[in-house]
Amino acid sequence: MNHYPLWKNLSILAVVLVGLVLALPNIFSQDPSIEITAARGGHVTAASVGEVRAVLENAKVPVKRFDPPADGKLLVRFAASGDQLRAEEVIENTLSDRYRSALTLSADLPRWVRAMGLKPMNLGLDLRGGIYVLIDVDMDAALDQALERYVEDIRTQLRDAKVRYITVAREKGRVVVKFADAAARDAGEKVIVKEFRDLKVAPVEEGGEFLVMASQTPTQQKQIQDLALQQNITTLRNRVNALGVAEPSIARQGDRRIVVQLPGAQDPGRLKEILGATATLEYRLVDTEHSAADAEAGRPAPGSRLYKTREGKPVLLKRRVIATGDQITDASSGFDSQSGTPMVSVSLDAQGGRRMRDMTTENVGKPMAVVFIENRTTTKLVDGKPMKRTEKVEEVISVATIREPFGRRFQTTGLDSADEAHNLALLLRSGALAAPIQIIEERTVGPSLGQENIDKGVRSVAVGFVLVVLFMGLYYRVFGLVANLVLLVNVVLLVAILSAIQATLTLPGIAGILLTVGMAVDANVLIYERIREELRNGNSVQAAIYSGFDKAMATIVDSNVTTLIAAVVLFSFGTGPVKGFAVTLFFGILTSMFTAILGSRAIINLLYGNRRVAHLPI
């Protein structure tokens, strides 16, 4: 009656053994480490190990071990976090032109464990230390930028179709085109409808003016906002990678927010400066046929626009852009060999390179300007309350004469400092933000606090486990010891699953494990109480064991399925910490059902199945 076939016992044993192997990496200590990757275009090789080793030996920084380069990364291990911080400073000061370094923790796994591809669970910010940033994306600005592009495109299409218009401007979330008469308006409407099918176009006549209103549909606005959010996520990820942060997490939250988690990062000032910056460049020809003074006096030249240098000097530039930051594929900072001033070496994509070569070939001997564009956020007190305002700053940083044609690769000078050149090169490499962003929440967790959280989390799980073990052993005797054994296996299997899926363990995750420890014995309690009830009713030992497991099954499944549903809902609608709790709770319920129903019955069957037993120690 109470007997499992051999294949079932072996299957349960195999699952437990696989769980032990997968959970094994978590018992090894974590080394303070530095993850070194090559700068853009470079490679980490065996020679890099000798180069980094020589630099650290000269600085007398003790190193525990160099791991062989793998996946384009070199891992340097240290015995203490102080050595790690000293080494990071040395590498940053001496090798930053060729390598990027990132602080991290790395499990000290034996070679045979690494050969099997096993890894421990990742640790979240609250356990490892680092920076958490919540970013809000200005969706209204994304829509305005899209409309601004339509303004320029509509002008171009009307000129190409030789339709005369008075003005094309963006007003109140739409593009307004003004014409001199109804015939011109009707012709312009046909051109706009034909060339811009995604716009909602309507002719209007107000106060004797002949207008065409072009606006975005709600569906198109949603697409623009989603694209802006996704492009910002990509750009921020590129910037974080360029900063050299190991295992960053950058994810969308809701319709307009982005969560950035950077384990191991401890410089929030530098992070905010790079994440929030929106600097980019534009290359334009200088208008030498008209006067900048006339434009400044309110007499603008057609096809040109007035800019100012950083010193406030007016410069008249052509509206037509030669190349923009979106077309830049690579950028690096340095110093000009002739003047010794900071510069940025720029590489354009194929389209930008062809356009630059054509324009410089046609305009040899004429001046070309570099426009530095940045969205700057300032805070002012309004009625005693701080109000943040973002304004777009456009400055001419360089005006130089085109001496000879050039294409994809060239240098940009006129920058104030080497730091500005370095930051600008980083931003150009990572791309421009599709919409302005604002950091609305920021938290920094130090490594010592993270270790304290780990210690307290482990202690809480240990105390909860010991209390459950004592109660079950005292109350249910031998059956309680069986429950304790499967409870231990349950924790091992849960850790194994979290390691296998490379989940990130946080404090809420530890709370989920602790809750699992408390709930895991619920099924055993239901089974054991049912067995005791059957014994009190005069049933035989074997019948009581069989009925206890059989009749408690429906209640166990019902209670655990409702908890699983709650975990799924928490994961679906919760944010980061809630998701971490939901993941451990979900898998903890699954492992507890396996161990309580199959594991404990397998052990009890081996102890008491198919035997004459006068009394059960329960």
Same domain, 501 and 403: no
d(CA 101, CA 348): 27
Q: Which of 198, 218, 238 is the last residue of a domain?
A: 218
d(CA 244, CA 426): 12
Pairing of strands 122-123, 504-505: parallel
Q: Which of 88, 108, 128 is the last residue of a domain?
A: 108
pLDDT average, residue stretch 129-151: 81
CATH classification of the domain holding 598:
1.20.1640.10
Q: How many domains are there within the chain? A: 4
483-518: burial string, b at 16+ Cβ within 10 Å, e else: bbebbebbbbbbbbbbbeeebbbbbbbbbbbbbbbe
Query: Which pLDDT score, from 0 to 100, does residue 244 have?
Result: 59
Reduce the DSSP state of residue 508 to 3 states and report it.
helix
Dihedral of CA 43/44/46/47: which sign?
A: positive
Query: Which pLDDT score, from 0 to 100, does residue 390 have?
Result: 65
pLDDT at 294 over 60: yes
Pairing of strands 367-382, 328-335: unpaired
Type of residue numbered 424: L
Query: Which pLDDT score, from 0 to 100, does residue 14 have?
Result: 92
Query: Which pLDDT score, from 0 to 100, does residue 560 have?
Result: 83
The chain-wide mean pLDDT, for the chain, equals 81
pLDDT in tens, 216-235: 888 888 888 888 888 788 77
Q: Is residue 408 part of a domain?
A: yes
CATH classification of the domain holding 290:
3.30.1360.200
Same domain, 336 and 417: yes
Reduce the DSSP state of residue 431 to 3 states and report it.
coil
pLDDT at 70 over 80: no
Same domain, 403 and 469: no
Could you write out the DSSP letters of every residue in 51-116? HHHHHHHHTT---SEEEEEETTEEEEE-SSHHHHHHHHHHHHHHHTTTEEEEEEEEE---HHHHHT
pLDDT confidence bin for 571, thresholds 50/70/90:
confident
d(CA 228, CA 437): 11
Better-predicted residue by pLDDT, 567 or 95: 567
pLDDT in tens, 440-477: 887 776 656 666 777 787 888 788 888 888 888 888 88
Look-up: residue for tokens 């920076």?
A: 131
Q: Is residue 261 part of a domain?
A: no
Query: Which pLDDT score, from 0 to 100, does residue 336 have?
Result: 78
pLDDT in tens, 358-403: 888 988 888 888 887 776 655 565 666 666 666 777 888 778 788 7
CB 283 within 8 A of CB 356: yes
Q: Is residue 250 part of a domain?
A: no
Question: Domain of 189?
Answer: 139-218
pLDDT confidence bin for 18, thresholds 50/70/90:
very high
d(CA 122, CA 530): 41
Q: Is residue 274 part of a domain?
A: no
Same domain, 361 and 469: no
Same domain, 155 and 35: no
Better-predicted residue by pLDDT, 498 or 131: 498
pLDDT in tens, 149-195: 788 788 888 888 888 888 888 887 888 888 888 888 888 888 888 88
pLDDT in tens, 78-112: 888 788 888 888 887 788 767 777 777 778 888 88
User: How much of the chain exceeds pLDDT 70, in percent?
Assistant: 88
Same domain, 459 and 601: yes
Same domain, 289 and 387: yes
Q: Is residue 491 part of a domain?
A: yes
pLDDT confidence bin for 247, thresholds 50/70/90:
low
Query: Which pLDDT score, from 0 to 100, does residue 42 have?
Result: 61
Q: Is residue 616 part of a domain?
A: no
Tokens of 114: 């690494």
Same domain, 355 and 481: no
Same domain, 403 and 547: no
Same domain, 422 and 456: no
pLDDT average, residue stretch 336-348: 79
pLDDT average, residue stretch 548-571: 85
CATH classification of the domain holding 97:
3.30.70.260
Query: Which pLDDT score, from 0 to 100, does residue 428 have?
Result: 67
Q: Is residue 72 part of a domain?
A: yes
- 258, β-bridge pairs: 135, 252
d(CA 507, CA 487): 21
Q: Is residue 15 part of a domain?
A: yes
pLDDT confidence bin for 17, thresholds 50/70/90:
very high
Tokens of 58: 């000269």
Residue whose C-alpha is closest to residue 154's, from 163, 141, 145: 163
Same domain, 404 and 347: yes
Better-predicted residue by pLDDT, 210 or 30: 210
Residue 45 makes CB contacts below 8 A (sequence gap 6+) with: 69
CB 492 within 8 A of CB 19: yes
- 4, β-bridge pairs: none
d(CA 225, CA 138): 9
Better-predicted residue by pLDDT, 330 or 120: 120
Same domain, 17 and 34: no
- 314, β-bridge pairs: 308
Query: Which pLDDT score, from 0 to 100, does residue 431 have?
Result: 64
Query: Which pLDDT score, from 0 to 100, does residue 212 have?
Result: 87
